[in-house]
Amino acid sequence: MQTIRTIAELRRLLDGAHAAGERVGLVPTMGALHEGHLSLLEAAREQCDVVVMSLFVNPAQFAAGEDLDSYPCDEAADAELARGAGVDLLFAPLVEEMYPAGFATSVIVGGVSETLEGAERGAGHFEGVATVVTKLLNIVAPDVAFFGQKDAQQAVVIKRLVADLDIPVAIAVCPTVREADGLARSSRNAYLSADERAHAVGLSRALEQAATLIASGERDSSATATAARRELAAYAIEPEYLDIVDPETLEAVAQIDRSVLVAVAAKVGRVRLIDNVVASPTRTNGR
């Protein structure tokens, strides 16, 4: 595995692979790798000839007051894990390489960016994500880029942007990886105290509760959300949002007559966590 700091060097190294028609996979990350990232790397290794992992804590997607300064950062440990997962090229640029003096462009994805995380964290969050992902896709020109379902809205935003900007890449969305008790793997789990960790499982329990209700015939979105909120309350968690939306458009769903995305965000202590599940209603009368 080679670690590359500059765009020019990465492009130079990828020229041969592109010219030879090799399948290039990109796994964009902000480091602090965990099992979730490793599952993306595994999928990339299986499906691609050349695996590129980017490691860049993107300042543009953090609002003032968010955890940019304390975001976990250990490049040596991440590089070791990336090497073990079969990454060929680790792209770890400095901020100045990605955003040189005079940088003045951003990518704004309307609609699907504006709800859930966009509403809570502000428009700048997905603007920052969309801008850096567009740059990474332009730099690497991968055949496939891999993202996690845990960041369901991010995956929807990125699919929208590659469709709208005609970027020739397939977006693969890999399942959420969970701890044994159901807590979704996240780099931010490292901040949880033992007590907070015990409460944090409430997020996945609430989602399970919603999915079970929907599978057993509940069609009313607000009744489902109320039951899920009750489960959160049992773990002393007050959600920032717990919404039931269409998995593609992210628009609110009132009557659950098709698969829905149940998405939750909550602070557990000072740690902000998100999670989601896609829940499907049971078919009745053969319909």
The one among 132, 161, 211, 225 contacting ligand PAF by CB under 6 A: 132
> φ and ψ at 30, to 5 degrees?
-110, 25
The one among 14, 92, 112, 129 contacting ligand PAF by CB under 6 A: 129
| Closest distance of CB 71 from ligand PAF, Å | 10
Q: Which residues contact 78 (CB under 8 A, 6 or more apart)?
A: 29, 31, 32, 33, 55
Binding flag, residue 118, ligand PAF (CB under 6 A): no
| Closest distance of CB 154 from ligand PAF, Å | 6
Q: Give the active site residues.
A: 37
Binding flag, residue 58, ligand PAF (CB under 6 A): yes
Q: Which region among 111-119, 127-135, 233-241, 250-258 touches ligand PAF (by CB under 6 A)? A: 127-135
| Closest distance of CB 153 from ligand PAF, Å | 11
| Closest distance of CB 51 from ligand PAF, Å | 15
Q: Of residues 4-33, which lie at the interface with ligand PAF (CB under 6 A)?
A: 28-30
| Alpha helix ranges (H) inside the chain | 7-19, 35-47, 75-84, 95-98, 116-121, 123-140, 152-164, 194-215, 221-234
**Helix, strand or coil, per DSSP, at residue 44:** helix
The residue among 108 and 252 lying less far from ligand PAF, judged by its C-beta, is 108
Q: How far apart are CA 113 and CA 135, in angstroms?
A: 18
Q: How far apart are CA 283 and CA 53, in angstroms?
A: 41
* 8 A C-beta contact, residue 152 and residue 140: no
260-268 and 271-279 as β-strands: parallel, antiparallel, unpaired?
antiparallel
The residue among 78 and 243 lying less far from ligand PAF, judged by its C-beta, is 78
Contact positions vs ligand PAF (CB under 6 A): 28-30, 58, 61, 129, 132-133, 151, 154
